[in-house]
């Protein structure tokens, strides 16, 4: 595809990225706790859609794995907290090691096999819990999964628009 014909694709992506930012600002009053800018979660899950193979089935698997990542994070926080009085410094690293080891077994199941999405979902949850004042497990999970869906939808839209455009500009 020539540069002239290809130039439309970055414009499409730019418009979609603009749309995510607008949507973030529209959603912010409704997302708990006070939204300090969560579009970064959309951009992560938008990328995860591509890791998942750019198919609706892959997107669903990514969504499920994102949720499992959140559950793994909660388990790590609870386990680390429970062991902190006896293990001190090593409580959280041990909890992370145990849960990460267990999480890898999930790649053997078709619907939880998106390990990149699992780890990205877990990382988003840790970031949210660490840096959003007043965050709870529920508010973090609800907000992250809402923004995850938005990002995955933008992944689907990206593929649809790009495919239609590329089909219309045969060389």
- Residue 49 has what pLDDT? 95
39, 21 Cβ separation under 8 angstroms: yes
Q: In which region does residue 54 sit, left (phi positive, over 0), alpha (psi from -120 to 50) or beta (all else)?
A: left
DSSP line for 139-164? HHHHHHHHHHHHHHHHHHHHHHHHHH
- Residue 5 has what pLDDT? 75
Cα angle 83, 140, 151 (rounded to 5 degrees) comes to 130
- Residue 168 has what pLDDT? 86
Burial tier of 170 (Cβ tally within 10 Å: 0-12, 13-18, 19+): exposed
Domain hosting residue 159, numbered range: 3-168
pTM value surpassing 0.85: yes
As a whole number of angstroms, the distance between CA 162 and CA 27 comes to: 26
Q: What is the mean pLDDT of each run of 10 residues along the chain (171 residues)?
A: 78 95 86 75 94 93 96 97 95 96 93 93 95 91 94 96 87 61
Neighbours of 6 (CB within 10 A): 12
Number of domains composing the chain = 1
- Residue 86 has what pLDDT? 95
Burial tier of 150 (Cβ tally within 10 Å: 0-12, 13-18, 19+): buried
């Amino acid at each position: 595809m020539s540069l002239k014909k290809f130039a439309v694709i970055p414009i499409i992506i730019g418009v979609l990225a603009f749309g995510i930012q607008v949507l973030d600002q529209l959603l912010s009053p409704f997302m708990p706790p006070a939204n300090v800018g969560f579009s970064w979660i959309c951009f992560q899950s938008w990328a995860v859609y591509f890791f998942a193979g750019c198919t609706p089935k892959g997107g669903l698997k990514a969504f499920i794995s994102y949720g499992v990542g959140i559950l793994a994070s909660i388990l790590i926080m609870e386990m680390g907290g429970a062991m902190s009085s006896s293990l001190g410094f090593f409580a959280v690293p041990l909890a992370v090691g145990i849960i990460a080891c267990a999480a890898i077994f999930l790649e053997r199941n078709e619907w939880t096999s998106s390990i990149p999405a699992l780890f990205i979902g877990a990382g988003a949850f840790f970031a949210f819990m660490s840096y959003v004042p007043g965050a709870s497990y529920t508010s973090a999970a609800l907000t992250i999964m809402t923004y995850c869906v938005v990002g995955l939808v933008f992944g689907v839209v990206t593929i649809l628009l790009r495919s239609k455009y590329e089909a219309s500009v045969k060389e």
